[in-house]
Structure 1
Amino acid sequence: MTNTDTSAATTAGAPAVIPNFPMARAAGCPFDPPPELRALQTQAPITRVRLWDGSTPWLLTRYAEQRALLTDSRISADTRLAGYPHTSAGFRERREQAWTFINMDDPEHARLRRMVTAPFAVKRVEALRPAIQRIVDTLIDEMLAGPTPVDLVQAFALPVPSLVICELLGVPYADHDFFQHHGKILINRDEPPEATREAQDKLIDYLERQVAEKLANPADDLLSKLATEQVKTGELTEHDVAVMGMLLLIAGHETTANMIALGTLALLEHPDQLAALRDTDNPTLIAGAVEELLRYLHITHSGRRRVAVEDIEIGGQVIRAGDGVIFANDVANRDEEAFADPDRLDVHRDARRHVAFGFGVHQCLGQPLARVELQVVYSTLYRRIPDLRLAVNVDQVPFKHDGLVYGVYELPVTW
Structure 2
Amino acid sequence: MPHEPTAPGTFDATPDEPPTLPTDRRTGCPFDPPAGLTALTGEPLRRMRYADGHLGWLVTGHAAARALLADPRISSRYELLHPPVPMAGMPEVMPPAQVGDIIGLDAPEHTRYRRLLTGKFTVRRMRQLTERVERLTAECLDAMEAAGPTADLVTAFAQPVPALMICELLGVPYADRERFQDEVATLFDQSADEEAKGYAYTALLQYLGELVVAKRAAPTDDLLSDLTTADLTDEELAGLCGLLLAAGLDTTANMLALGTFALLSNPAQLDTLRAEPALVDQAVEELLRYLSVADPLPRSALEDIEVEGRLIRAGESVTISVQAVNRDPHKFPDPDRLDIRRRATGHLAFGHGIHQCLGQQLARVEMAVALPALFARFHALRLAVPPEEVPLRDRANIYGVVSLPVTWDEDSPDA
| Structure 1 length-normalised TM | 0.88
Q: Distance in 1 between matches of 2:19 and 2:283?
A: 34
Letter of the structure 1 residue corresponding to residue 376 of structure 2: R
Aligned to 1:109: 110
Give the whole-Å Cα distance in 2 for the aligned partners of 1:334 and 1:342.
5
Could you tell me how far apart the structure 1 residues matched to 2:260 and 2:392 are?
A: 14
Q: Which runs of 5+ in 1 are unaligned?
A: 1-5
1:259-278 alignment, distance < 5 Å: 259-278=255-274
Say whether residues 1:55 and 2:49 are aligned partners: no
Give the aligned partner of residue 288 of structure 1: 282
Give the counterpart of 2:185 among 180, 183, 188: 180
User: Residue deviations 1:90-122, cap 9 Å, x none?
Assistant: 487675555611221223212101222233211
Residue 366 (structure 2) pairs with residue 373 (structure 1):
yes
Moved more, 60-69 or 48-57: 48-57
1:311-361 per-residue CA deviation (whole Å, 9 max, x = no partner) reads 011223210011111100111111100001000100000001111001112
Deviations 1:124-148 (A, max 9, x none): 1111111211221222222222222
Root-mean-square deviation (CA), in Å? 2.5
Corresponding position: 1:67 with 2:66? yes
Task: Give the Cα separation in 1 of the matches to 2:259 and 2:15.
Answer: 33
Aligned CA distance change for structure 1 residues 180 and 239 (closer, same or farther; 3 Å): farther
Distance 1:367 1:218, change over 3 A: same
5 Å-filtered alignment, 1:7-406, equals 8-10=11-13, 14-16=14-16, 18-42=18-42, 44-81=43-80, 83-85=81-83, 88=87, 89-90=89-90, 95-98=96-99, 100-171=101-172, 172-174=176-178, 175-184=180-189, 200-227=201-228, 229-230=229-230, 235-282=231-278, 285-301=279-295, 303-406=296-399
Give the conservation status (yes or no) of the 8 Å contact 1:255–1:405.
yes
Query: What is the letter of the counterpart of residue 283 of structure 2?
Result: A
Per the normalisation by structure 2, the TM-score is 0.88
Classify 1:90/1:84 alpha carbon distance in 2 versus 1 (closer, same or farther; 3 Å): closer
Does structure 1 conserve the Cα–Cα contact (< 8 Å) formed by 2:98 and 2:239? Answer: no
CA distance in 2, matches of 1:337, 1:170: 44
Quote how far apart the aligned CAs of 1:157 are: 0.7
Q: Name 1:3's counterpart in structure 2.
A: none
SS at match of 1:41: coil
Structure 1 184/107 Cα, relative in aligned 2: closer, same or farther at 3 Å? farther
Write the letter of the residue equivalent to 2:330: E
State the identity as a percent.
45
Residue 318 of structure 1: SS of its match in structure 2?
strand
Return the alpha-carbon distance in structure 2 between the equivalents of residues 183 and 116 of structure 1.
Answer: 25
In 2, distance between residues paired with 1:191 and 1:319? 39
CA positional deviation for 1:184: 5.0
Q: Separation in 2 of the partners of 1:196 and 1:157?
A: 20
Question: Gapped runs of 5+ residues in structure 2?
Answer: 1-8, 409-415
Kept after mapping to 2: 8 A contact 1:60/1:66: yes
The worse-fitting range, judged by mean Cα deviation, of 165-174 and 358-367 is 165-174
Amino acid at match of 1:180: A
Q: Do the aligned residues in 1 keep the contact of 2:44 with 2:62 (CA within 8 Å)?
A: no
Deviation, 1:18, is: 4.6
- List per-residue Cα deviations over 1:220-278 (Å, max 9, x = no partner): 22222223x13xxxx32211111111010122211111001100000111100010112
Q: Whole-Å Cα distance in 1 between the matches of residues 287 and 126 of structure 2?
A: 20
Letter in 1 for 2:377: R
Q: Where does residue 3 of structure 2 map in the other structure?
A: none
What SS is found at the alignment partner of 2:213?
A: helix
